[in-house]
Structure formats: structure tokens, C-alpha cells
Amino acid sequence: MLKSINKTLLGAALIAGSLASHAYADTTINALFMAQAAYSEADVRAMTDAFTKANPDIKVNLEFVPYEGLHDKTVLAQGSGGGYDVVLFDVIWPAEYATNKVLVDVSSRITDDMKKNVLPGAWTTVQYDGKYYGMPWILDTKYLFYNKEILEKAGIKEPPKTWDELTAQAKTIKDKGLLPTPIAWSWSQAEAAICDYTTLVSAYKGDFLKDGKPAFQSGGGLDALKYMVSSYASGLTNPNSKEFLEEDVRKVFENGDAAFALNWTYMYNMANDPKDSKVAGKVGVVPAPGVAGKSDASAVNGSMGLGVTTASKHPDEAWKYISFMTSQATQNQYAKLSLPIWASSYDDPSVTKDQEELIKAAKISLAAMYPRPTTPKYQELSTALQQAIQESLLGQSSPEDALKSAADNSGL
């Protein structure tokens, strides 16, 4: 009799154990992130660990790829059957992703509180045609970083407020023998160059498109490319800039080999880390300059969002994960390499501590963010512009001819 009771109890315990383990491991979602700029891989893993601890019934498989592989990996996975549930996407992709049904329209999940408390500019990252295709996550633009010690040695009292002042200050630094090539840019034939170009287009008050047609081949768009070519030809810009991506720029700046560099938010705290940087404690940051008579500052919208793919079999769990990752509590905790999307975070001492200079610049730059063109054919347009920039820098084509050719090849 006792044996029989024990067997029954044992059987019940095994069933209960089996049910419990099933309840705590019944959903796995796959998430795709990038392995550069903004939040570090370690940050994303730590955030995800906190999520799975709070939601033990959801397991998250993380995959990291370079930014350059993010778009194609997302699109190709859609038809593979497996695919991703959550993907990181750039501000330039919602038009294409919405048109080709890559991302789910999540407008019904965006609450009034979210709309009220997230910075208005952040929403442009995830919107297309009046609908929301995710939550903004990385709120980012390019800032002008400068080496305080080098400027001081050159007798320069304040960082430049205009692009012409930047050229003049770089020339002073070069003429005094402090650095042979004081400026570093991300001008590789990649999206990085388009971000630098857009920053300058915003300074010169140019237009990418008018009535859906290319307009960058004249006015501010042409002025922006002429400035790039002039800076490159002057010898003030590091000649390797034409092959640099943002990480290359960071390394050159951290090594003390650039007085000025245009880069994303994440460089501020990385360049100030004495473990990896020779310029820690000497890093200055201000909004990217403007153009006299046209603008006080310039900025590109380099923000990114998290969305649920149409291939996802677990959209509710995917959204739960996105909501956690984009929450104010999570973002405030990891605000050193990427700044929060939440307006009130910018007055929170836990966010501003030790990066007051960055926050001061951010308040100006984030309000001045200029969008790259919103079009389902963005990839073709970007590729054509990348080629135009490269040809102009190499002297293979004049800025006028290169941009005219880009307009002809843009697919618009």
C-alpha cells in the first residue's frame, strides 16, 4: 500500500515537473542586432538576460551582424521559413519594409503614454505613411568630436561653429605642425558616407527630393559634396577617410591622430575610457557645425528601431521583448553608448552624470536631425550617391557630373 502511494506521488511529481518545465520554456524568439555603434553587444546581452529573468517562459536567441549586413540579412530571412521575430532597422528602411511587408504594422500597440513621453523626433524612425512599424530604440545623430588638448596647443579658444571655421582651425593645427591631417571622416563607399553627406546637406539647407524626384544635384546638395571634395583635396582630411567606417574614425581619434571627427554618440564614452583610448579626459563634443547665414548646427537622423517581422510566429512575445528593450527603465540604465528616446530622461541625473557635455550637445543636435530621403527605393538611391561621393573624392568626376549621374541612376 505504501509503495503504491509513493509511486502515485512520484508520478504526480514527475507530471508536475514536466508541466512546469514546459510552462517555462515554451517560446523561443530570434532577434537580429548589429555589432557596431550604439549599444554594445555586451549591453544587449545584459538587457536580454534581464528580460528573460523577468519572463522565464520566453527564450531569446540573439544574433549580431555588422550594420552593413543588417538589411540584407533581414530581407533574405523573410523567405527562409525560420527567420527572425525581432529585427533592428535603420530609419531609412520603413518605407521599403512596409511596402514589401517585411515588418508588422504595430500602430494599435502604441499607447497614448508612449506617444506623449517619447521625443517627437524619435517617432520618425519607425513611421511610414501614417503607420508605426516598431518602437524607436537608438536615438542617434553625428556630433563633432574634438581633441581639447590639440586645440589648446594651437591657441584655439572654442571649437568651430561653422564648417568654414572647422577648415580654418584644422589649417592652423596643420600649419603649427601639431597633426598632418587633423580631420577624420567615415567616407568609405557605404551608408556611413551618406550620413556624413546628409549632415552637410542639412547645414547647407539642401533637399534630397522634391515632388519625389532627385534635387540633391543642385543647391545645398551640391554645396555639401563640394565641401567634402575641398576638405579632402586640401590635405586637412585624413586621406584614408575614403576607406573609413565609423569604427576606423573612432580608433584614429582615440589614438590622438585626429583633432576633429564626426561620429555617433557611442564614441563619447568609448573615447573617454582610459583602458582603450589615449585621449581619455581630452574629448570635447559639440553639435556638428552650421553654415553662416544658413544654419546654426547640422545633424543627420541616424536613429534605429526594433520591429516585429511578418514572418514571426510569436508576435506577442516579440512585442513584449521590444517593449522591455525600449522601456525608459532599461534605456536609462544603459545610457552611456546610446541616449534614451524618452524626453524626461534628459533631466535624470542617472543619465546625465559624467556626460553633461554630451547631453548639452544632444539637446541641440537631436532637435536638428535631418532625414535621409523616405522612399521604397532608398537602397538604389543610396548606392548611386555613395558612388558619386567616391568618384568626386578620387577626382574621377566633378561634383556636378557625379551628382547628375547619381540622380539618373537613383531609380526615381
The whole-number pLDDT of residue 37 equals 72
Residue in the block written with cell 519625389: 212
pLDDT band at 25 (very low <50, low <70, confident <90, very high): low
Average pLDDT value for residue range 259-277: 95
Q: Distance (Å, rounded) from C-alpha 190 to C-alpha 386?
A: 6
Average pLDDT value for residue range 148-161: 98
Average pLDDT value for residue range 230-249: 97
Q: Which of 323, 245, 308 is nearest to 35 (CA)?
A: 245
Cell of 53: 529573468
Q: Which of 255, 249, 251, 135 is nearest to 190 (CA)?
A: 249
Q: Is 332 helix (H, G, I), strand (E, B) or coil?
A: helix
The whole-number pLDDT of residue 130 equals 94
**Is residue 22 packed enough to be buried (19+ CB in 10 Å), middle (13-18) or exposed (0-12)?**
exposed
Average pLDDT value for residue range 404-410: 95
pTM: 0.85
Give the number of C-alpha atoms closer than 13 A to the C-alpha of residue 366, restricted to the C-beta side.
Answer: 26
* Confidence check: pLDDT of 22 > 60: no
pLDDT band at 78 (very low <50, low <70, confident <90, very high): confident
Q: What secondary structure, in 3-state letters, does 217-263 show?
A: CCHHHHHHHHHHHHHHHCCCECHHHHHCCHHHHHHHHHCCCCCEEEE
Enumerate residues 6+ apart whose C-beta is below 8 A from 184: 237, 238, 241, 244, 248, 249, 252, 253, 257, 258, 260, 261, 262
* Confidence check: pLDDT of 143 > 70: yes
Q: Distance (Å, rounded) from C-alpha 67 to C-alpha 34?
A: 5
- The reply to whether domains 28-140+302-365 and 142-300+377-408 share a CATH topology is yes
pLDDT band at 8 (very low <50, low <70, confident <90, very high): very low
Amino acid at residue number 229: V
- pLDDT tens for residues 271-289? 999 999 999 999 999 999 9
31 φ, ψ to 5°? -125, 135
The whole-number pLDDT of residue 12 equals 44
What does the DSSP 8-state code read for residue 373? Answer: P
Mean pLDDT score of the chain, rounded to an integer?
A: 92
Cell of 269: 564614452
355 φ, ψ to 5°? -140, 40
Beta bridge partners of 355: none
List the chain domain ranges: 28-140+302-365, 142-300+377-408
Average pLDDT value for residue range 193-200: 98
* Confidence check: pLDDT of 57 > 90: yes
Domain 28-140+302-365 has CATH 3.30.70.100: no
* Confidence check: pLDDT of 38 > 90: no
Q: Are 297 and 289 in contact (CB under 8 A)?
A: yes
Beta bridge partners of 85: none
* Confidence check: pLDDT of 168 > 90: yes
Question: What b-and-e string marks burial along 59-77, b requiring 16 or more CB atoms within 10 Å of the CB?
Answer: bbeeebbebeebbebbbeb
**Is residue 14 packed enough to be buried (19+ CB in 10 Å), middle (13-18) or exposed (0-12)?**
exposed
CATH H-level, domain 142-300+377-408: superfamily: Periplasmic binding protein-like II (3.40.190.10)
